[in-house]
Amino acid sequence: MAAEARSNLAQYSGAERAAIAVLSLGEQASGLMRLLHEDEVREISGAMSSLGVVPAPIVEAVLTEFFSKFSGAGVIMGSMEQAERTLLNVLPKDRVDVIMEELRGPAGRSVWDKLGNVSVGLLTKYLVNEYPQTVAVVLSKVPADVAASVLAALPHDFAVEAMERMLTLETVHRDVLQNIESVLRSEFISNLNRSSRRDNHEAMAEIFNNLDRQTEAKFLSSIEDKAQTSAERIRSLMFVFDDLAKLDSTAVQTMLRSIDKQDLAVALKGASEQMRALFFSNMSERGGKLLREEIQALGPVRVRDVDAAQARIVAVAKDLSARGEIVLAANNQEDELIY
C-alpha cells in the first residue's frame, strides 16, 4: 500500500504536495508559511483551493517525504474556504483578500498575462472583429505596451472608439467578463485573471507613453475633438522625454551613468537646445565634446528612431525611480521630480 501511495504521489505537483502538508499541519503551519515568499504562498494557496479530497495514503506519503516519519494520517479536504482560513493564520487580512480575489476570479488566473505575451499581430487580428466595448475591456487589462501596439495597428476610427470606451469604462459585470475570458481562453489557453483598478486616464496615459510621437499626436487630437477634458487629463499624466528638463544636476548625472550613450546621441539629435544643454552641462568637457561629435556624425536620423531612443531613456528614468534613486512625481504637481 505504501509503495502504491508513493507511486501515486508522482501525480501531484510540488505545490500540491506543499498544500497537502500545510493542510495536515493546520495552525502549526503558520510559522512555516511566514518564512515563504509571497509568490510561494500564492502558488501553494492556488493548489490548496483546487485540491479536493486527498486520500489518507497520499497524505501519509507526502508527510513521510517532507518529514521522514508520519503515522495515523486521515483524509483531508482542500477548498477555497480552507485555503482562506489557513492564509488568515499567517497573513494580514488585506493580503489574504487580494490572493483570494485572484483565486476566485471569474474564469481563472492567467488569461490576461498570457495575452501580454502573444503576437500583437495575432491579438490585433482577433480584436478587429470584436465590438469596441469588448476591445476596451481587453486592452484595459493587458500591459500598456501591448495595448499601445494593438491600438496603433487597428483602423484609426475603430481604435479611437475603443479608447473612448476605455476612458468611460466602469466595473465590468462578472458574467460579461467571464464570457470574454472563456472565449479568450479557447484562443490563448490560460488560467489567470489579473484585475485592474487603475484610474482609466492613468492607464491611457501609460499606453500613450508607449506610442511613437506621430501616432500619439494623431490619437490625442482625435480624442480632444470629442472629449477635450479627457485629452487634457491624459496629457497631464504622461511622462515624456522633455519632462527630464525638470531634473537637477544630481539626477541627470545619475541617469548619465545608466543610459546607453548611442541612445543619448540619437535622442539629443532631435531634442531641443534646452534638453541638449541639460545633458552637456552635466558632463565633463571631454565627454561633452565627444558626444557633440557623435551627434554630428550621425547625419540625418529618422523621427521614429529619435522617438525610440528618447522612449528608452525615459524607461531608464522610470527604472531608476522604481529603485528609489530618483522619484518621478505626477506631472500636475508643482515639483514634478523629487530625488
At 259-295, the pLDDT tens digits run 999 999 999 998 888 889 999 999 999 988 999 999 9
- pLDDT band with cut points at 50, 70 and 90 for residue 68: low
For residue 299, give the H/E element and its range.
Answer: none
Do residues 242 and 313 touch, judged by C-beta distance below 8 A?
Answer: no
Same fold, 111-236 and 240-338: yes
Average the pLDDT over 210-217 and give the result.
Answer: 77
Nearest to 162 by CA among 137, 179, 189, 191: 137
Measured between alpha carbons, how far is 257 from 336 in angstroms, rounded to an integer?
22
What's the confidence (pLDDT) of residue 244?
86
> Looking at the predicted structure, is the pLDDT value of residue 192 above 70?
no
* The CATH number, out of the four listed (1.10.220.30, 3.40.50.720, 3.90.1200.10, 3.40.630.30), of the domain defined by the range 240-338: 1.10.220.30
What's the confidence (pLDDT) of residue 237?
74
Q: Which residues touch 73 (CB under 8 Å, ≥6 apart)?
A: 24, 56, 59, 60, 63
Question: Does the CA dihedral 190-45-198-206 come out positive or negative?
Answer: negative
What's the confidence (pLDDT) of residue 191?
32
Q: Which of 102-116, 183-197, 271-285, 307-321 has the lowest mean pLDDT?
A: 183-197
User: What are the backbone dihedrals phi and psi of residue 243, each rounded to the nearest 5 degrees, phi first?
Assistant: -70, -15
Q: What CATH fold (topology level) applies to the domain 111-236? A: Annexin V; domain 1 (1.10.220)
Measured between alpha carbons, how far is 97 from 83 in angstroms, rounded to an integer?
11
Residue 227: Cβ within 10 Å count: 16
Domains of the chain, by residue range, sit at: 2-103, 111-236, 240-338
pTM: 0.39
What's the confidence (pLDDT) of residue 282?
92
> Looking at the predicted structure, is the pLDDT value of residue 7 above 60?
no
Q: Burial, 149: exposed, middle or buried (Cβ in 10 Å; 0-12, 13-18, 19+)?
A: buried
> Which residue spans within 197-252 are E strands per DSSP?
none
- The pLDDT mean for the chain works out to 75
Per residue in 292-317, pLDDT (tens digit) is: 999 999 888 888 888 888 888 988 88
> Looking at the predicted structure, is the pLDDT value of residue 240 above 90?
no
> Would you tell me the crossing angle of helices 213-226 and 156-167 to the nearest 10 degrees?
60
Q: Which residues touch 96 (CB under 8 Å, ≥6 apart)?
A: 84, 87, 88
What's the confidence (pLDDT) of residue 263?
92
Instruction: Give the position of cell 486520500.
Output: 55
Measured between alpha carbons, how far is 17 from 43 in angstroms, rounded to an integer?
11
What's the confidence (pLDDT) of residue 170?
77
User: What are the backbone dihedrals phi and psi of residue 71, each rounded to the nearest 5 degrees, phi first?
Assistant: -150, 155
Percent of the chain's residues with pLDDT above 90: 12
Nearest to 89 by CA among 58, 54, 48: 48
Average the pLDDT over 325-333 and give the result.
Answer: 57
Q: Burial, 160: exposed, middle or buried (Cβ in 10 Å; 0-12, 13-18, 19+)?
A: buried
